[in-house]
């Protein structure tokens, strides 16, 4: 007996096991247990101090490289402006990183705040109100409607007790509670009907329970422990940036060493000058603005998402959404409306859609509104059990005024709902003095008490064939996962001396059946279809019953009709080892009656297959999986603060369709980051190649000031502007790029290389033209003009190339050269900053350049135009090849 879980034991056995009784613990015993086990509170992982968090931000390899570059730029090259920009970028990223970490710790804080402050307990046969933190094992807790359960309890008394557990189990409606022991030893949390769990809400009735777990030993405590122990995973964006930083740094350092060595060998400059040139090349080649540019692009993406009801809490999540392979969505409130709704009605022998209507005089309409405890507030809002409010709400759609009807036929007696007989009855006094008995409940139980059938305005004895027809209609609705209630009534002359089930719930007239469900959101089906078209696999994970989950999944198009193998329950999942589940995970698209650890297993199984997983959730039970997923998506309306705190993004409208919108925005963000990287790296490669070839050919070298200024004015503004390029058509027809893809995927890597080489060759070509066909005479003047033209070409050609990368594959003229106003202004600003150094007296001396005549400017501009023309021609061949492969 001792080894059995509390829900499998009788009430007496649980009391004996906890060494207590219904009169409660003595104050001395309670104090002893409190000293032994500690307070009924959730533990929290040790927090890092603000300084430690700040210093952690500088452990990234790319950040270390940037800090070294800043020191070199400042102390060796005296380029303090460049050094200042690099340091500002690094500090900005560090501050933002600390902010992100602080937000992430809100999950446990919110979980603690959910705990009820006080509890009503029986100690020494006295009822006391004590802080819930003082509860101990064996305490007897009294529960009534409106209370929050203060600890995990085994119920020993229950009077029509209903508990809303959706935040913990995912169950969409309040659960009827009993006290009888459950047969099995491995009952899922959602089916433990004789248990009450910490932080769940009492919605109806009253009960008494014995505390069997407190603090971190409760179900909520287990979830808190899972949140505390969950490892933070890097997003694909963070992994890509880390890999990119290491690769670039190694390549740049190797090239800088080669340039320095060859320059000394060719005696291109003195040793100090050559060292400064190599260092300036390395500093310029490192895309120091990349972290800031990525941050800005992500931030702009979050603003656009917010306008479309997706609130991003962690910046990298914006881009990660674009790589999503799996969307594991909660059902209630996300795929469905989180509102029980009448969908089918059966009366007069016919099963009809609810939209067909029921006239107010039909007894079915009367009974569903009379045998009902829903309260209608002055503002029309309905309060009560979701099933009952759905019946009254349906009556309102049929212009049935329940308040007016009850005024004419007031309730004078009732037999409350009981979970054993599964019926509820109210008695009403009619205008003629007779009494109307209205009963609703489980159809099977109701039919045991029915002798007649209402058809229109007439009644007649219920035949066997009619009884069979009612049972068939009940089964038809149940197979569609509808929650079915039967309605019956009778008219009596006087009120029995004792009003109970035996005296009033007999010889009744059957009025009809009502089928209800929490229906899917109208836009969810289209969103599921769009996700599938984008190569994303939508899945449903819910605490609801298997039949309900399967029916909604079929209606939404997540699975096909009859595809039972795609549905699995938490209990069935428990029977599979991690290895077995890893082999079978691709079979399942619907998970029903799941526990928190199941959700984490599902996320982990897909991640091990290399998939990027987005997980939605609104309850406390979802928090561990939200934290484990690549993208945790909380619900803004129905979500608990715990789930929001553990999430990367919050849906302001709790709508699955918003996730698909966010995925589209995420894909656009990645595409734009890719464009910025293509632009930055091809430009930097052009600079490296130009200096390298000048060194190899023994030509005069561009000075460090030239390289650093070009890098400063042509990199930042255009790259940021590329981050706000409009979404390219067809982006949601592409398959997810996958976790293994990187910034060089999709042809970007080869494009960076050949376009960087092209930039370098065009620049070198202009230098050669200037030397071969000089405008001025004299060796010094010729070389000064050539360097100036090379400097102007290298800068302008990058600005021209920015137009090329507005689309990686599409033609510039297809995407629109001047659609992006921010881009137009960025190019203009960069051009002015570059032109000032050549055209404005004083600056040209500072930058060691000369004024150019119009012939020379035509040559420079011609190289820029050639850059666009050549890239456009190559794109034509690339598109033809891609089309041929497809």
Structure tokens at 418: 């009981």
Number of neighbours of residue 676 by Cβ within 10 angstroms: 28
Is the separation of the CB atoms in 679 and 805 below 8 Å? yes
Residues 6+ apart with CB under 8 A from 593: 188, 190, 191, 543, 544, 545, 546, 569, 570, 571
Structure tokens at 208: 């008494």
Least Cα distance to 230 among 585, 605, 629 occurs for: 629
What is the signed CA dihedral for 846, 851, 856, 859, rounded to 10 degrees?
30
Q: How far apart are the first and last CA of the chain?
A: 66
Residues 6+ apart with CB under 8 A from 432: none
Is the separation of the CB atoms in 486 and 510 below 8 Å? yes
Residues 85, 76: Cα–Cα separation, whole Å: 16
Give catalytic status of residue 330 as yes or no: yes
Least Cα distance to 95 among 51, 133, 129, 65 occurs for: 51
Name the phi and psi angles at 25, rounded to 5.
-75, 155
Number of neighbours of residue 556 by Cβ within 10 angstroms: 23
**DSSP secondary structure string for all residues of 464-518:** HHHHHHHHHHHHHHHHTT-EEEEEEEEEESS--SS-SHHHHSSSEEEEEEEEEE-
Q: Which one-letter DSSP state was computed for residue 882?
A: H
H/E run at residue 424: strand 423-429
Paired sense of beta strands 567-569 and 590-592, if any = parallel
Alpha helix segments (H runs only) across 632-736: 641-646, 656-697, 704-722
- Select which of 82, 147, 325, 330 is catalytic: 330
Residues 751, 759: Cα–Cα separation, whole Å: 12
Structure tokens at 70: 């800043």
Is the separation of the CB atoms in 693 and 762 below 8 Å? no
Residue 222, classed as helix, strand or coil, is helix
Is the separation of the CB atoms in 240 and 637 below 8 Å? no
Name the phi and psi angles at 12, rounded to 5.
-65, -40
CB neighbour class for 270 (10 Å; exposed up to 12, middle 13-18, buried from 19): exposed
- Specify the residue for token string 């008494």: 208
Residues 225, 214: Cα–Cα separation, whole Å: 13
Q: 3-state DSSP helix/strand/coil percent for the chain, to nearest 5?
A: 55, 15, 30
Return the active site residues.
330
């Amino acid at each position: 007996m001792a080894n059995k879980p509390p829900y499998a034991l009788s009430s007496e056995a649980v009391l004996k096991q906890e060494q207590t009784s219904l009169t409660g613990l003595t104050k001395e015993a309670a104090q002893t247990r409190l000293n032994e086990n500690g307070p009924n509170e959730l533990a929290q992982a040790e927090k890092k101090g603000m300084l430690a968090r700040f210093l952690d931000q500088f452990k990234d390899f790319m950040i270390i490289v940037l800090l070294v570059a800043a020191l070199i730029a400042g102390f060796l090259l005296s380029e303090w402006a460049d050094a200042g920009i690099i340091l500002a970028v690094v500090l900005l990223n560090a501050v933002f990183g600390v902010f992100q970490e602080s937000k992430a710790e809100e999950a446990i804080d919110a979980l603690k705040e959910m705990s009820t402050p006080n509890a009503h307990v029986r100690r020494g046969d006295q009822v006391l109100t004590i802080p819930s933190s003082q509860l101990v094992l064996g305490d007897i807790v009294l529960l009534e409607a409106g209370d929050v359960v203060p600890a995990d309890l085994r119920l020993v008394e229950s009077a029509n007790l209903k508990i809303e557990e959706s935040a913990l189990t995912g169950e969409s409606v309040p659960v009827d509670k009993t006290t009888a022991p459950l047969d099995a030893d491995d009952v899922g949390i959602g089916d433990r009907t004789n248990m009450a769990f910490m932080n769940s809400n009492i919605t109806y009735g009253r009960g008494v329970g014995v505390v069997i777990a407190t603090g971190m030993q409760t179900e909520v405590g287990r979830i808190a422990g899972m949140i505390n122990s969950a490892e933070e995973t890097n997003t694909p964006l963070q992994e890509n940036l880390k890999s990119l930083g290491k690769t670039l740094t190694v390549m740049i350092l190797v090239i800088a060493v080669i340039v320095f060595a060859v320059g000394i060998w060719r005696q291109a400059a003195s040793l100090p000058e050559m060292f400064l040139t190599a260092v300036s090349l390395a500093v310029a080649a490192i895309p120091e603005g990349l972290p800031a540019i990525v941050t800005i692009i992500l931030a702009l993406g979050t603003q656009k998402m917010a306008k479309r009801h997706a609130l991003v809490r962690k910046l990298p999540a914006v881009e990660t959404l674009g790589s999503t392979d799996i969307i594991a969505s909660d059902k209630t409130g996300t795929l469905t409306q989180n509102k029980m709704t009448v969908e089918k009605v059966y009366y007069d022998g016919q099963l009809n859609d609810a939209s067909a209507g029921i006239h107010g005089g039909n007894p079915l309409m009367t009974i569903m509104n009379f045998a009902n405890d829903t309260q209608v507030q002055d503002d029309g809002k309905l309060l009560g059990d979701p099933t009952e409010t759905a019946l009254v709400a349906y009556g309102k759609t049929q212009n049935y005024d329940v308040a007016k009807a009850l005024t004419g036929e007031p309730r004078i007696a009732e037999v409350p709902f009981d979970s054993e007989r599964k019926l509820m009855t109210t008695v009403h006094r009619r205008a003629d003095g007779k009494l109307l008995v209205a009963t609703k409940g489980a159809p099977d139980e109701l039919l045991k008490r029915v002798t007649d059938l209402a058809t229109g305005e007439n009644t007649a004895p219920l035949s066997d064939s009619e009884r069979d027809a009612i049972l068939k209609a009940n089964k038809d609705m149940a197979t569609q996962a509808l929650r079915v209630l039967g309605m019956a009534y009778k008219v009596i002359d006087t009120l029995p001396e004792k009003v109970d089930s035996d005296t009033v719930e007999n010889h009744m007239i059957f009025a009809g059946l009502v089928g209800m469900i929490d229906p899917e959101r109208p836009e969810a089906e289209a969103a599921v279809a769009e996700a599938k078209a984008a190569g994303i696999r939508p899945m449903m994970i819910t605490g609801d019953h298997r039949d309900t989950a399967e029916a909604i999944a079929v209606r939404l198009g997540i699975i096909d009709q009859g595809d039972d193998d795609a549905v699995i329950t938490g209990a069935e999942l428990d029977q599979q080892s991690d290895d077995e589940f890893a082999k079978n995970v691709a079979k399942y698209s619907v998970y029903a009656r799941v526990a928190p650890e199941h959700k984490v297993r599902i996320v982990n199984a897909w991640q091990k297959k290399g998939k990027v997983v987005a997980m939605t959730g609104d309850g406390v039970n979802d928090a561990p999986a939200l934290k484990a997923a690549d993208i945790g998506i909380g619900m803004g309306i129905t979500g608990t603060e715990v789930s929001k705190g553990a999430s990367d993004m919050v849906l302001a409208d709790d709508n699955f369709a918003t996730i698909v919108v966010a995925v589209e925005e995420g894909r656009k963000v990645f595409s734009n980051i890719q464009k910025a990287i293509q632009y930055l790296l091809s430009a930097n490669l052009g600079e490296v190649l130009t200096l390298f070839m000048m060194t190899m050919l023994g030509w005069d070298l561009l000075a460090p000031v030239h390289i650093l200024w070009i890098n400063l004015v042509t990199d930042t503004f255009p790259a940021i502007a590329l981050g706000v390029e409009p979404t390219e058509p067809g982006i949601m027809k592409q398959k997810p790029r996958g976790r293994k893809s990187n910034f060089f995927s999709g042809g970007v890597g080869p494009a960076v290389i050949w376009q960087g080489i092209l930039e370098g060759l065009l620049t070198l070509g202009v230098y050669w033209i200037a030397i071969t066909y000089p405008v001025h005479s004299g060796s010094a003047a010729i070389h000064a003009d050539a360097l100036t033209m090379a400097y102007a070409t290298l800068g302008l050609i990058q600005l021209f190339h920015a137009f090329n990368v507005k689309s990686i594959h599409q033609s510039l003229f297809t995407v629109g050269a001047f659609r992006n106003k921010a881009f137009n202004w960025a190019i203009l600003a960069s051009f002015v900053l570059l032109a000032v150094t050549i055209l404005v007296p004083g600056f040209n001396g500072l930058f060691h350049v000369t004024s150019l005549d119009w012939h020379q400017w035509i040559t420079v501009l011609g190289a820029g135009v050639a850059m666009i023309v050549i890239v456009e021609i190559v794109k034509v061949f690339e598109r033809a090849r891609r089309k041929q492969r497809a």
